[in-house]
Structure 1
């Protein structure tokens, strides 16, 4: 197969100014401004892990953020949340979600999510004749 794979972007997940992990935010919901993906914890994650195992209300107090590799902190109006199911499902079952990323920034950062969504809409409209 000769498909070229798009180089994935990496984002840092921050607690205050400390990098607690990274993610590629490889999935998304463009109309909602949501991007999510596997969370790759750094050694610093142990400092907040217990709070990430609790409900989102407790976790909201952490004020997590996402930083693009170019240094920009991405505005996420709905916050950043870590869903850690590693205790029940294994060490790779940690996901991070960035909520409320506005346009046009969302399209700039995640063109692949927008293209996939547009393709899905097009397929639905073509199939509904």
Structure 2
């Protein structure tokens, strides 16, 4: 497996092997290992957690908070770079952050690649 850098506005916020995925959906995901810069963007990903918190007494997702999350996430300029320095075309990058409850085991990154050729090129063995 090769290591991928996750960037915000060109700065590395963490790395992942993106060790699993779903080729039919064009998705790759894996454990996320944050860099110190992750703390500067972490509040955005905590919005998602707050909006979808399953512990919130049976309520459905907070749509207003989800909309805010997507706007703020998109403003981060997230991108993915391969170990060889190539840009990986993505539709979106998302970090699930449950590290407050689960420590480092509670961090996962998922990406949707821009097309099937990108998935075949960078993630041929992920299923």
TM, length-normalised to structure 1 = 0.75
Query: Which residue does the alignment assign to 1:97?
Result: 110
Partner of 1:49: 42
User: Are 2:125 and 1:112 aligned?
Assistant: yes
Structure 2 residue 28 is matched with structure 1 residue 14 = no
Residue 36 in 1 paired to residue 29 in 2? Answer: yes
Number of matched pairs = 106
Gaps of 5+ in 1: 1-7, 117-129
Structure ID, larger Rg: 1
1:65 aligns to what?
79
Unaligned runs of 5+ in 2: 49-68
Deviation at residue 68 of structure 1 after TM alignment: 0.7
Deviates more, 1:62-71 or 1:15-24: 62-71
Name the TM-score, length of structure 2 as normaliser.
0.76
What's the CA shift string for 1:51-98, capped at 9, x where partnerless?
111124232321211101111111112x11111011122232101111
Considering Cα pairs closer than 8 Å and 6+ residues apart, tell me whether 1 or 2 has the greater RCO. Answer: 2
SS in 2 for 1:59: helix
8 Å CA contact retained: 1:35, 1:97: yes
| Aligned-residue CA RMSD (Å) | 1.4
CA distance in 1, matches of 2:88, 2:115: 10
* 1:28 Cα deviation from its structure 2 partner: 0.2
Task: Say if 1:63 and 1:80, in contact at 8 Å, map to a contact too.
Answer: no
Structure 1 segments of 4 or more deviating over 3 A?
none
